[in-house]
Structure 1
Amino acid sequence: MERGLYIGRFQPYHNGHQSVLERISKQVDEIIIGIGSAQFSHDINNPFTAGERIMMITRSLEGRLPCRYYVIPIEDLQRNALWVAHVTSMAPPFQRVFSSNPLVVQLFHERRIEVESPDMYERDSHSGTEIRKRMLAGGDWQKLVPRPVVDVIEEIHGVERLCRISGTD
């Protein structure tokens, strides 16, 4: 049984994440999807709560992966030297990490945990930063995320929230 870990902020979960998870699911028996920076919400870079991100991911993945997966929140420590120990204490046991984040790759590499950097899917347009920017500008962001994510964001009035919190007083 091989279990892999994939960590992201998922602000919001988008088609790039979906593509990476579909590829990872063909390489491992189970995937742990770690919602990074889980303690942050309601700010311009992190507008969605960990619970809302869990809804986005679980609804988007229903019936899409050939393997079992777990979605877990992981709060930041602000102490990088301890972060890998923190993650391993919060997650089920895993043998491999999937990440293209240079800091994440370095921290797991230092702990001698195998890290694989999956190719990113259309990275220029499929990033949380670009999607949030389009939301704020009234642009077309919906085509960059799975339909269940659009539904969750509409349900929680996520675009309105993002516009409101990005304003000034």
Structure 2
Amino acid sequence: MKLLRNLTLSSYKIKKIYKHHELISLMDRGLFIGRFQPFHSGHLRDIKNALEEVGEIIIGIGSSNEENTKENPFTVRERVEMINIALAANNIKKYVVFTIPDFNDDIKWVNHIEATIPKFEVVYTGNEWTEKCFEGKYEVRKVKMLKGVSSTTIRSRIIKNQNWQRLVPEEIVNYISKIKGVQRVKEICTPDL
């Protein structure tokens, strides 16, 4: 009897595992939205992790209509370039990038995304607001933030002349230097004295 029960349990576990893999194989695309101001090591890790579950990741650059502000110092073109550089350096090819402008209406924002971006099955986010916008319509998977790594922290460290370079891929350090991004962040984000 005990042997039979263990056998049944094992069969159940196998079916459950099989179903889990079947579910993952059905998910062709995932959506990962961020402002990427700048693109950092946490973003890279999240994209790599998502690609273990989906065949292709759609990277949505949020606030694409915002630039040269404290929260959005880099242009959308620069953010696209950062993403392309970092992913190429990591041999990541299964992605597409779309720009997503801000709307002052959550429903219009989601409708715009659905109308302009290819079909996706799951949303990856570390942002509560993004999670709320998509929950109920899509499967939402929360990404775990890397401790101490955020674009806000990086911009703050740049302003304070603290080490920020270790929080971003090396290629992004070089790119930010090339576009004089450090000077721009300091000019835009440092309050007038």
Query: TM-score of the superposition, structure 1-length normalised?
Result: 0.92
Per residue, is there more helix in 1 or in 2?
A: 2
2:98 is matched by which residue type in structure 1? I
Aligned to 1:97: 123
Matched, 1:168 2:188: no
The match for 1:130 among 106, 131, 153 is: 153
Conserved? CA contact 2:87–2:93, under 8 Å: no
| Structure number with larger C-alpha Rg | 2
Conserved? CA contact 1:31–1:67, under 8 Å: no
Alignment RMSD (CA, Å): 1.5
2:121 is matched by which residue type in structure 1? Q
TM-fit CA distance, 1:81: 2.1
Bigger relative contact order (CA 8 A; separation at least 6): 1
1:121-147 C-alpha deviation (Å, 9 max, x unpaired): 22xx10111100110011100110001
After TM superposition, list the pairs within 5 Å mapping 1:52-71 onto structure 2: 52-62=78-88, 64=90, 68-71=94-97
Question: Which consecutive aligned stretches of 4+ in structure 1 deviate over 6 angstroms post-superposition?
Answer: none
1:53 is matched by which residue type in structure 2? R
TM-fit CA distance, 1:67: 5.4
The match for 2:144 among 109, 112, 119 is: 119
Conserved? CA contact 1:20–1:121, under 8 Å: no
Query: TM-score of the superposition, structure 2-length normalised?
Result: 0.81
What are the ranges of 5 or more consecutive residues in structure 2 without an aligned counterpart? 1-26
Q: For 1:4, what is the secondary structure of its paired residue? A: strand
> Size of the alignment, in residue pairs?
166
2:30 is matched by which residue type in structure 1? G
1:36 is matched by which residue type in structure 2? G
Aligned to 1:35: 61
Aligned to 1:14: 40
Conserved? CA contact 1:29–1:68, under 8 Å: yes
Structure 1 pair 141–82 and aligned structure 2 pair: CA distance change class (3 A): same
1:43-98 C-alpha deviation (Å, 9 max, x unpaired): 11110011101111110011535651001111011111221111112211111111
Conserved? CA contact 1:36–1:74, under 8 Å: yes
Q: For 2:33, what is the secondary structure of its paired residue? A: strand
Aligned to 2:179: 156
